[in-house]
């Protein structure tokens, strides 16, 4: 069963929270981060992307950059921009986008749960990205950003969350520049905290990494390093736990993650469509954007025209948790067999576009001549994600895109 732990959070004063809370480190590059911190000394990006305070020539993986993260973290605490709660607490973090709100419980997950498979993952991680975040955790001795977890919804937990939300005011309540609302409650009642923790221990068998696989791995691996290097380790140390927001699965939705390709592998557009016709039922849609509306249905944008592609029966396996995925079907039938794009992680002939940008972005990438064709996919379901994680399988690259993203900086977990 899953462990959830209360902790003494480091939090910003309410008047500066909107300025301090930032997008996650991995959704913007260094140039974009520099623009976001301009005239904003409070932004957490000064800590999670500390190269913004160094010359543009600085190597983001160099020691001076990590040293700057520690320096800035210490400065934030000295200036009172991050202040520690006096007792171990749990928190509720809600987000509102397009009129829909989702409620997550903020608490610490256990390093042991990650090592023992109680926390399940569905993506491969890269060692270089793991090591980057591990260095960041080591030098700050903190989890600066939460990871995004989900769990099979438990009605008893939902009732407690609803009660906290309805009977108290959020300590933070703001709308970010992208229009997403962020709402944050502190749970101070110790009986409520104990009840939530007990329900996790008795009702939540597994938790699942929704977003933040590299941060999860880094936090758990650093925690394990610390225990191995501590002769007096007893299991209660703060490094045995790391910061996570836990959302019930029935409140989350995954949006589409689409593909654009640079060429047709030497084929003309008619030849490409002829090959597609062998494995798809093709319907010409014209110039209006076509959004896939069911599983195994795809949108294709090619030479100013949209097409509906529906995979023919017998070309996929709905009993296989990986084979049922549309990303698998597209990769096998089109990208590999027709276009010769075998390794999605390394090929420079393909790029990926999160659905948050809209299908109009696919048209732009093709119409400007940068790309030759675009594929719109039907989004993966939460059930598919959980089925894959439960089966021990790994999703193909760039399969899931969660929105809204968590804001970093609402609460920080110190390992001290």
Delimit the domains of the chain by residue range.
10-253+403-414, 257-378
Distance CA 69, CA 110 (A): 25
| 123 has pLDDT over 90 | no
Q: How confident is the model at residue 345 (pLDDT cuts 50, 70, 90)?
A: confident
Sign of CA dihedral 148, 152, 158, 159: negative
Q: What is the pLDDT of residue 354?
A: 86
Please give the mean pLDDT across all residues of the chain.
95
Q: Are 73 and 53 in contact (CB under 8 A)?
A: no
Prediction pTM value = 0.89
Sign of CA dihedral 101, 106, 110, 111: positive
Integer CA distances (angstroms), 205 to 108, 194, 305, 369, in order: 16, 18, 48, 50
Q: What is the pLDDT of residue 105?
A: 98
Q: How confident is the model at residue 289 (pLDDT cuts 50, 70, 90)?
A: very high
Q: How confident is the model at residue 26 (pLDDT cuts 50, 70, 90)?
A: confident
Q: Are 7 and 241 in contact (CB under 8 A)?
A: yes
Residues 6+ apart with CB under 8 A from 339: 261, 263, 264, 265, 349
Beta strand 147-151 pairing with 241-248: parallel
| 408 has pLDDT over 90 | yes
| 328 has pLDDT over 90 | yes
Region 32-45 average pLDDT: 96
| 126 has pLDDT over 90 | no
Q: What is the pLDDT of residue 87?
A: 97
Region 101-111 average pLDDT: 98
Q: Are 100 and 179 in contact (CB under 8 A)?
A: no
Q: What is the pLDDT of residue 210?
A: 93
Lowest average pLDDT, out of 44-48, 96-100, 401-405, goes to: 401-405
φ/ψ of residue 219, rounded to 5: -60, -45
Q: Are 413 and 7 in contact (CB under 8 A)?
A: yes
The CATH code for residues 257-378 is 3.30.1760
Q: For 143-167, what is each residue's pLDDT tens digit? A: 999 999 999 999 999 999 999 999 9
Region 6-25 average pLDDT: 97
Q: Are 252 and 101 in contact (CB under 8 A)?
A: no
**Tokens, residue 83:** 């202040």
């Amino acid at each position: 069963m899953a462990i959830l732990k209360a902790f003494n959070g480091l939090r910003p004063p309410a008047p500066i929270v909107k300025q301090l809370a930032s997008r996650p480190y991995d959704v913007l590059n260094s140039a974009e981060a520099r623009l976001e911190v301009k005239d904003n000394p409070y932004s957490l990006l000064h800590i999670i992307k500390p190269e913004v305070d160094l010359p543009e020539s600085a190597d983001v993986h160099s020691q001076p950059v990590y040293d700057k993260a520690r320096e800035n973290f210490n400065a934030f605490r000295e200036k009172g921009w991050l202040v520690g709660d006096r007792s171990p607490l749990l928190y509720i973090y809600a987000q509102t986008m397009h009129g829909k709100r989702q409620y997550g419980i903020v608490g610490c997950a256990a390093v042991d749960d990650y090592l023992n498979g109680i926390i399940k993952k569905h993506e491969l991680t890269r060692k270089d990205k793991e090591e980057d975040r591990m260095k960041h955790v080591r030098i700050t001795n903190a989890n600066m950003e939460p990871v995004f977890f989900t769990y099979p919804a438990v009605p008893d937990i939902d009732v407690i969350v609803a009660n906290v939300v309805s009977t108290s005011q959020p300590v933070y309540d703001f709308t970010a520049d992208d229009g997403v609302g962020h709402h944050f409650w502190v749970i101070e009642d110790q009986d409520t905290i104990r009840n939530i923790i007990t329900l996790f221990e008795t009702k939540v068998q597994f938790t699942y990494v929704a977003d933040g696989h590299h941060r999860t791995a880094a936090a758990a691996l650093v925690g394990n390093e610390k225990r191995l290097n501590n002769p007096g380790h007893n299991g209660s140390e703060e490094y045995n736990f790391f910061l996570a927001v836990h959302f019930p699965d029935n409140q989350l939705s995954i949006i589409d993650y689409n593909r654009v390709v640079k060429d047709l592998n030497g084929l003309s557009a008619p030849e490409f469509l002829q090959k597609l016709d062998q494995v798809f039922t093709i319907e010409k849609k014209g110039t209006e954007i076509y959004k896939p509306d069911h599983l195994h249905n795809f949108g294709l944008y090619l030479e100013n025209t949209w097409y509906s592609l529906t995979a023919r029966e017998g070309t996929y396996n709905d009993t296989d948790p990986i084979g049922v995925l549309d990303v698998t079907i597209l990769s096998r039938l089109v990208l590999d067999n027709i276009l010769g794009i075998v390794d999605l992680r390394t090929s420079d002939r393909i790029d990926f576009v999160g659905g948050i940008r809209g299908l109009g972005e696919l048209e732009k990438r093709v119409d400007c001549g940068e790309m030759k064709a675009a594929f719109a996919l039907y989004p993966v379901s939460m059930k598919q994600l959980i089925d894959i994680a439960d089966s021990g399988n790994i999703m193909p690259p760039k399969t899931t895109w969660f929105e809204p993203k968590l804001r970093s900086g609402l609460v920080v977990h110190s390992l001290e």
